[in-house]
Amino acid sequence: MVSILSSSSVGARPVRAARGSVRTCKTWQAEAALRMLMNNLDPEVAEDPNHLVVYGGRGQAARSWAAFDAIVRELVALESDQTLLVQSGKPVGVLRTHDDAPRVLIANSNLVPHWATDEHFDDLARRGLIMFGQMTAGSWIYIGTQGIVQGTYETFAECARQHFRGSLRGRLLVTAGAGGMGGAQPLAATMNEAVCLIADVDASRLERRRASGYLDEIAAGLDAAIDRALSERAAGVAVSIGVAVDALTLLQRLLDRGVLPDIVTDQTPAHDILSYVPAGHSVESAARLRDSDAKSYAEQSLDTMVQHVQKLVELKRRGAVVFDYGNNLRARAEQRGFAEAFEFPGFVPAYIRPQFCLGRGPFRFVALSGDVRDIELMDRELIRLFPEDTGLARWLSLAGERIQHQGLPARICWLGLGQRQRAGLLFNDLVRRGALRAPIVIGRDHLDCGSVASPYRETEGMLDGTDAVSDWPLLNALVATASGASWVSLHHGGGVGIGYSQHAGQVIVADGTPEAAGRLLRVLTNDPALGVLRHADAGYAEASAAAAQHGLAIPMAPR
Ligand code: NAD
């Protein structure tokens, strides 16, 4: 991995964000950015903090440790009317703007389309000229594996509704990749009452998920894992079982034994050919090959992906529900010559798009106090604010019971257009009244309704064929900036890899002031509104209805 990172471990040290209501920076917006950057690199949060890697293959928070130090310095000195510019994890300037402007503007991993190839990107990364920002790594709003838990939970729940009469009790879900995001799968599966069997080639990643409560147990061997999964499926017990093998080996063994899982998916880092571990390799031998012969590594990786997808297609043909989980595995296999790779759908068109049409998407908040009681209070207040949303209440109580915090205490929940700004204003008021111990950071994944163009993921199979139109995420970043978000980011390649997506992020701070209330109202209304407009424009009737309900002006009807 090291040879393809823009960073080395020179200067590495443990980093942990400050807690509490006393700030080092001149504004709470800059202070929040500083703490969230540091929180992304907290050893409890990041997958490989020494190399500044937060999650998602090689998603980094800063380009180098020297760049990290410079960002920290600039944030501490930043005035309330200045904006720091960050280009692929390196601070490149400070400009005079105004109090309502973002304190930080970030662009990560962007390349002009013709040059947006893995080879060109890797060459620049090796020379320290660019950095892979993933989605929330380079935009400083990662909250650990929790960040994706609810999305994964909603996906599995919708799968249950569509295929299993609403429940996964007595069902076996097989998957692979227990990394920063993939590690949410076992918990989301058992929250839906399923048995989850998950493979990861790296035993230490499984151990990490078990230690943080995301994974229940690790089996001693492959057949023992399969046997245990089958007996728990028969007994209808919800449990997650990890096994330290690569994905292909697990799927091959299931096929050889004639075992048919109910659901099969995958979250290995296939978006990045040099992160996905090819068949026949341990983590160590893969690292040696990557360093000594990246070309051969890439060939082996792609060949394994073809076989991996062939097994998934075979399981589908035998009757399992199979879906792609947003890592671009199908496209890799198709490009390598497997014509049937797209025989199974992506998770967004299969399960998530109806939510996007309503402006529903990931809403995450972080307590800068560091005090878990602040999150507990906000959970309770959200349930009171939206009594009609029984799914939200169920989720928040499950999350409160089952999710351990990593780094600064945080919560994820999915909220729609109309809900997000009410939640933001409520939190701001709680800060103003002193009910919360310090300001709150509100942000989201780039995986949202209006913030991403990704034809093999969020925008796969759009009604009007506009899957690859990336005007929408560009508009999203502009809208967040115009509305007064605290920091705004524009990225390329996260989730599915270089050349395959463009996406935007925004983060907004509730510090209890009237100025923050104005910004929160604008940002948390306009951000999901753009998602509704994007889907209405593509011809989704539910989105047009949502736009009408919320009084959004649409100058021209979709064609
Ligand atoms: P990560 O780099 O933190 O973890 C990847 C894990 O996969 C590691 O534990 C690694 O050991 C393991 N792995 C690598 N090759 C393997 C193989 N051949 N077989 C089994 N295990 C293997 O990545 P992450 O943050 O967990 O993300 C995983 C993938 O999911 C990425 O492609 C990411 O873009 C995608 N993703 C999807 C969503 C979504 O909502 N669908 C969200 C975020 C990320």
- Give residue-wise pLDDT tens across range 457-472: 999 999 999 999 999 9
Residue 8 has pLDDT above 90, yes or no: no
What is the distance between the alpha carbons of residues 441 and 116, in angstroms, rounded to a whole number?
Answer: 33
The sign of the CA dihedral 202, 206, 207, 208 is positive
- Quick check: is 72 in a domain? no
What is the distance between the alpha carbons of residues 378 and 35, in angstroms, rounded to a whole number?
Answer: 20
**Number of folded domains that form the chain:** 1
Beta bridge partners of 453: 502
Distance 181 CA to ligand 1 centre (A): 6
Distance 318 CA to ligand 1 centre (A): 26
- CA nearest ligand 1 atom 31, residue: 269
Tokens of 176: 């692979």
Q: Is 284 exposed, middle or buried (0-12, 13-18, 19+ CB in 10 A)?
A: exposed
The whole-model pTM stands at 0.92
Domain encompassing residue 282: 146-344
What is the best residue among 201, 246, 448 to mutate for testing ligand 1's pocket, by most ligand atoms within 8 Å of CB? 201
What is the distance between the alpha carbons of residues 233 and 249, in angstroms, rounded to a whole number?
Answer: 21
- Quick check: is 300 in a domain? yes
Residue 536 has pLDDT above 70, yes or no: yes
Residue 2 has pLDDT above 70, yes or no: no
pLDDT class of 3 with cuts at 50, 70, 90: low
Angle between helix axes 514-537 and 420-432 (nearest 10 degrees) is: 170
Residue-level pLDDT at 426: 98
pLDDT class of 556 with cuts at 50, 70, 90: very high
pLDDT class of 558 with cuts at 50, 70, 90: confident
- CA nearest ligand 1 atom 21, residue: 200
- CA nearest ligand 1 atom 9, residue: 179
| Separate counts of helices (H) and strands (E) for the chain | 19, 17
* Ligand 1 atom closest to Cα of residue 135: 43
What is the distance between the alpha carbons of residues 53 and 132, in angstroms, rounded to a whole number?
Answer: 9
pLDDT more than 90, % of the chain: 96
What is the distance between the alpha carbons of residues 310 and 84, in angstroms, rounded to a whole number?
Answer: 47
- CA nearest ligand 1 atom 25, residue: 56
- Quick check: is 177 in a domain? yes
- Quick check: is 61 in a domain? no
What is the distance between the alpha carbons of residues 202 and 285, in angstroms, rounded to a whole number?
Answer: 12
- Give residue-wise pLDDT tens across range 483-512: 999 999 999 999 999 999 999 999 999 999
Lowest mean pLDDT: which of 81-95, 376-390, 545-559?
545-559
- CA nearest ligand 1 atom 5, residue: 179
Distance 200 CA to ligand 1 centre (A): 9
Q: Is 340 exposed, middle or buried (0-12, 13-18, 19+ CB in 10 A)?
A: middle
What value does the mean pLDDT take over residues 525-536?
A: 98
What value does the mean pLDDT take over residues 430-448?
A: 98
- Quick check: is 81 in a domain? no
Residue-level pLDDT at 1: 57
* Ligand 1 atom closest to Cα of residue 283: 11
Residue 4 has pLDDT above 90, yes or no: no
- Quick check: is 457 in a domain? no
Active-site pick, 159, 196, 357, 413: 413
Average pLDDT, the chain: 96
What is the distance between the alpha carbons of residues 246 and 340, in angstroms, rounded to a whole number?
Answer: 22
The answer to whether 413 touches 152, Cβ cutoff 8 Å, is no
What value does the mean pLDDT take over residues 247-259?
A: 98
Distance 275 CA to ligand 1 centre (A): 9
Beta strands in 167-279 (DSSP E): 172-176, 195-199, 217-218, 239-243, 263-264
List, chain by chain if needed, residues with CB within 6 Å of any ligand 1 atom.
47, 55-57, 148, 151, 176-182, 199-202, 205, 246-247, 267-271, 275-277, 325-327, 447, 495
- Quick check: is 112 in a domain? no
CATH of the domain at 292: 3.40.50.10730
Residue 257 has pLDDT above 70, yes or no: yes
- Quick check: is 401 in a domain? no
pLDDT class of 5 with cuts at 50, 70, 90: confident
- Give residue-wise pLDDT tens across range 394-433: 899 999 998 999 999 999 999 999 999 999 999 999 999 9
Lowest mean pLDDT: which of 151-165, 298-312, 417-431, 515-529?
151-165
Residue 559 has pLDDT above 80, yes or no: no
Beta bridge partners of 195: 172, 239
- Give residue-wise pLDDT tens across range 57-81: 999 999 999 999 999 999 999 999 9
Residue 44 has pLDDT above 80, yes or no: yes
Q: Does the active-site annotation cover 25?
A: no
